[in-house]
Amino acid sequence: MAEVGTIGRTRHVNLVRLLGFCFDDVARALVYEYMERSALDAFLARWGSDVGVSALLDIAAGVARGIRYLHEECDQKIVHYDIKPGNVLLDGALTPKVADFGLARLVSRAATHITVSGPRGTPGFAALEMWRQSGVTEKCDVYSFGMLLFEIAGLRRNFDEAAPTESQRWFPRLAWTKYEEGNLMDLVAEPSVAAAAGDVARRKEMVERMFKVAFWCVQQVPEARPPIGVVVKMLEGEMDIAPPVNPFHHLMAPPLATMPWTTTTTSGGDTVTAPVGLSEASKNLISL
């Protein structure tokens, strides 16, 4: 019934429409509008390379517009908590519609943080703060959207156990490495002949746009993620995208023993050799 109460308050082209429900001792069911192309994850696996980058970008922007409606345009803010490809449905025209509001929560616009009782969402798509005992914001949906966007742009799942090396198993991290090298197009599956038609430079720009937005959305610190309204503008080309900051730097920091060392003088007048970037307090401890 939580889903009925939440989705019953919404009406947007990028949200699945609830037609009716049954809730009694015999059966419990929700009746939605018919979605011919099923869920986004199944669509990407089966037909993704046939539709072209422009259509994939349109799908991504449509999902973002649906989330923008939840966050910014409803009377009360709605946080979905479980944005992922399996919870986005596609109709016959490839219009994406956000679905499954079972974990969603109505939030006062005056609230700055939301207290959650235990982890919510799907591992691999849920923001890091969802697994901590602290308040969260609607930016958790932005993070999940970023993870979804990686799968749209790369036409592959974010985690691949069959990849030959550990660095290739988690796709978002591999994408960042390719971005730094200037080789993002290496990650894009070869399109069909029909999907490949058109301006190659334009296709490259759209691919890079999706990846750069995804990098911003999955920043570790929630405040560093853009509001979903800004995400929509960046995907639609209405706003320039600043060069993203590495969202995985906390995973890529070299071990302490391999960091460059330097000799400096501490505030206490001692000479100490320590890794570059070590705090003054830590240097003082080393000098003791």
CATH number, position 139? 1.10.510.10
Mean pLDDT of 95-111: 88
For 237-244, which contacts have Cβ atoms below 8 Å and span 24 or more sequence positions? 237/209, 241/209, 241/212, 241/213, 241/216, 242/216, 243/212, 244/179, 244/212, 244/215, 244/216
Whole-angstrom Cα distance, residue 149 to residue 170?
Answer: 14
pLDDT tens-digit readout, 158-214:
998 777 776 678 999 999 999 999 999 999 876 655 556 568 889 999 999 999 999
Residue 283 and residue 200 share a domain: no
Residue 280 and residue 148 share a domain: no
Task: Catalogue the active-site residues.
Answer: 82
Q: What's the domain count of the chain?
A: 2
pLDDT band at residue 262 under the 50/70/90 scheme = low
Residue 222 and residue 268 share a domain: no
Query: Among residues 166, 128, 168, which one has the least CA distance to residue 147?
Result: 128
Residue 32 belongs to what H/E stretch? strand 28-32
* pLDDT number for residue 62: 99
Burial class (CB in 10 A: 0-12, 13-18, 19+), 186: exposed
| Gyration radius (Cα) of the chain, Å | 22
Residue 120 and residue 24 share a domain: yes
pTM of the model: 0.81
| Average pLDDT of the chain to the nearest whole number | 84
Q: Which residues span the domain enclosing 276? A: 257-287
pLDDT at 269 over 80: no
pLDDT band at residue 113 under the 50/70/90 scheme = confident
Residue 271 belongs to what H/E stretch? strand 271-275
The better pLDDT of the pair 260, 265 is held by 265
Residue 32 and residue 153 share a domain: yes
Burial class (CB in 10 A: 0-12, 13-18, 19+), 239: middle
Question: Residue 220 corresponds to which tokens in the numbers above?
Answer: 């570790």
pLDDT at 267 over 80: no
Whole-angstrom Cα distance, residue 102 to residue 3?
Answer: 5
Are 29 and 19 a contacting pair, CB within 8 Å?
no
* pLDDT number for residue 23: 78
Name the range with the highest mean pLDDT among 35-44, 114-123, 161-170, 195-204.
35-44
Token look-up 């697994």 returns 131
In sequence order, what are the residues at sequence separation of 6 or more whose Cβ sits closer than 8 angstroms to the Cβ of residue 6? 78, 101, 104, 105, 106
Residue 186 and residue 266 share a domain: no
Residue 120 and residue 157 share a domain: yes
Residue 246 and residue 267 share a domain: no
pLDDT at 3 over 60: no
The CA-based angle 109-233-48, given to 5 degrees, is 110
pLDDT band at residue 83 under the 50/70/90 scheme = very high
